[in-house]
Structure 1
Amino acid sequence: MSPGQDIGYAESEHVGVLTLNRPDVHNALRRKTYDELTELVHGTTARVLVITGAGRSFCSGDDVRELMTGEAPPPPPRLTPAADALLHTDVPVIAAVNGPAVGWGMELALMADLRVAAASARFGELFVKRGLCSDVAGIARLAQLVGRETAAELLFTGDVIDAGRAERIGLVSRVVPDDHLMPAALELAGRIAANPPLAVAALKRGLRRALDPEWRDLGAWVSTTLGELFTTEDHREGVRSFLEKREPHYVGR
């Protein structure tokens, strides 16, 4: 497969590495990035995928400056294509979290099957700070990993936690020094890729069948809810205060 403009791709020994490649904006996601991510996940021939970020950040979430330019149409009531690709692929996905993973960056990490974090990694479901709800992984997968009470705390507060706490609550499987991150993630990916791929794919389908919600139904609810929240004064204030680097003032409408 060929890399895109926003996401690099390399494959070796049945392991594909996707690198979010917008380090100047902390690997923020624009529409083109989402499209490339969807295409790469659908098109890979690798047995295992590793997702990481270029530079010092894993992913800072949506590119607010681009996505707030002009009047965007309301999202259709469906699971977004990138989330659909990640949550329904039979290829195991490892997130090698090399720095902050916030907003949809945390969603991206949660949509992976396994998370290996650098010591400098940070995690935050910041959607509430923008007057929005999280995507499907923040609502369902986060609670699977850390329990409902801890998930509720992270979702309702929008707090950012460090790698040490992420490991203690079960959000990540391990924390390694920053310069050991990719070797650790690739070693884990190699051990998975060495196993029979049909059996690994069946195990992943089994986990999805046993533990996951119906992602597309939940995605339709999230899209509908976001469509409502995007029209609120609190959402506009959340975005304005972020861009203006000031404290927000929410009014509940």
Structure 2
Amino acid sequence: MTDAVLHVHIADAIATLTLNRPQRFNALDVALIDALRRTLDELAVREDVRALVLTGAGRAFCSGADLAAGGASGTGRDYDGILDLPPEGRSAELRHIGDDTRDGLLQHFHPLIRQIADHPKAVVCAVNGTAAGGGVGLALACDIVLASRSARFIQVFAPRLGLVPDCGISWQLPRTVGRARSLALALLGEPVSADEAERLGLIWRAVDDDALAAEAQRVAARLAANPTHVNAEVKALLRRSPEHDLATQLDLEAQLQGECGAKPSFVEGVLAFQQKREPVFHPAPTPDD
């Protein structure tokens, strides 16, 4: 399951996925995206894996699309001389670049974001350094985001690249930090520290650098102790709430609660409450849990 650009370690029901392109600040190219997507597919059906941790090797978490490999398109296009072409030739080249950029997002980057957000296992992100551009979107697609205090979140799109936010950032920011802050972050591109990201509600918690890996494993272990299906249902319930009115959301709560109540894990939870002990939801992997 391990690719050179992605390290995967599985222990105690937790799969730790480490982006492994430190020389490129873990920039996303097609090879890394494909490795992530294959691994996420495999982990989705492994009963011995109940939670995931996503982090990066080296000094950065993820610097977004690998511009040296053609950015979102992954074509490795040479941009030298394009702006010096006659108007007709330049317009044609720019149209090709725009089409490649759009198609790269639709075929590679955005399917990865959806796959993480909709993954049946809970996903913890441990942002171990700078998250820039699409790297921010990659982190925010996860369920619980921790960051080392030296980490920074940077929106490079508008001020540095002449682009709009992608990888789900334009959906995430207004729902987490509000309209005013979203516009300022996206338009100005000023770095946000981990402590500030916690204060804004962009992430769950900032922790000391040397404590990040252990804290991510601790949080993942707590998630792995939950019934796996409940983690998936909570994710679905909360992600769908912005599109629903109260009545629709109440109906969805009732539906999912009925489904959860029909599982053995609910009986174990009630028995543990009555017996004044901690519930044990995973004595062994079963299809029902």
- TM-score range normalised by the length of the shorter chain: 0.7 to 0.9
Which SS does the other structure have where 1:51 is aligned?
strand
Structure 1 residue 11 and structure 2 residue 15: aligned? no
5+ residue gaps in structure 2? Answer: 78-95, 245-289
| Aligned partner letter, 2:36 | L
Whole-angstrom CA distance in 2 between matches of 1:12 and 1:177:
24
2:178 to 143, 147, 164: 147
CA shift, 1:211, in A, is 3.2
Give the match for residue 230 of structure 1.
none
Contact 1:138 1:155 in 2 (8 A): no
Aligned sequence identity (%): 35
Segment drifting more, 84-93 vs 46-55: 84-93
5+ residue gaps in structure 1? Answer: 214-253
Q: Between Structure 1 and Structure 2, whose CA radius of gyration is higher? A: 2
Segment drifting more, 108-117 vs 80-89: 80-89
Whole-angstrom CA distance in 2 between matches of 1:100 and 1:109:
11
Give the match for residue 109 of structure 1.
139
Whole-angstrom CA distance in 2 between matches of 1:177 and 1:27:
21
CA shift, 1:201, in A, is 1.3
Give the match for residue 26 of structure 1.
25
Give the match for residue 68 of structure 2.
65
Whole-angstrom CA distance in 1 between matches of 2:243 and 2:166:
14
Contact 1:110 1:142 in 2 (8 A): no
Whole-angstrom CA distance in 2 between matches of 1:21 and 1:138:
23
Structure 1 residue 81 and structure 2 residue 80: aligned? no
Equivalence map 1:203-222=2 (5 Å): 203-211=234-242
Which SS does the other structure have where 1:58 is aligned?
strand
Q: Deviations over 1:80-110 (max 9, x none)?
A: 2212211221221111010000011111111
Return structure 1 stretches of 4+ with deviation > 4 angstroms.
none
Q: Work out which structure has the larger RCO, using CA pairs closer than 8 Å and 6 or more positions apart in sequence.
A: 1
Higher helix share: 2
Give the match for residue 56 of structure 2.
53
Give the match for residue 279 of structure 2.
none
Structure 1 residues 145 and 87: alpha-carbon distance in aligned structure 2, compared to 1, 3 A threshold? same
The alignment of Structure 1 onto Structure 2 pairs a total of residues equal to 212
CA shift, 1:59, in A, is 0.7
Q: Aligned Cα RMSD in Å?
A: 1.8
Give the match for residue 35 of structure 1.
34
Q: Deviations over 1:28-48 (max 9, x none)?
A: 111111111111122213221
2:212 to 170, 181, 189: 181
Whole-angstrom CA distance in 2 between matches of 1:25 and 1:50:
21
Contact 2:117 2:143 in 1 (8 A): no
Whole-angstrom CA distance in 2 between matches of 1:33 and 1:17:
15
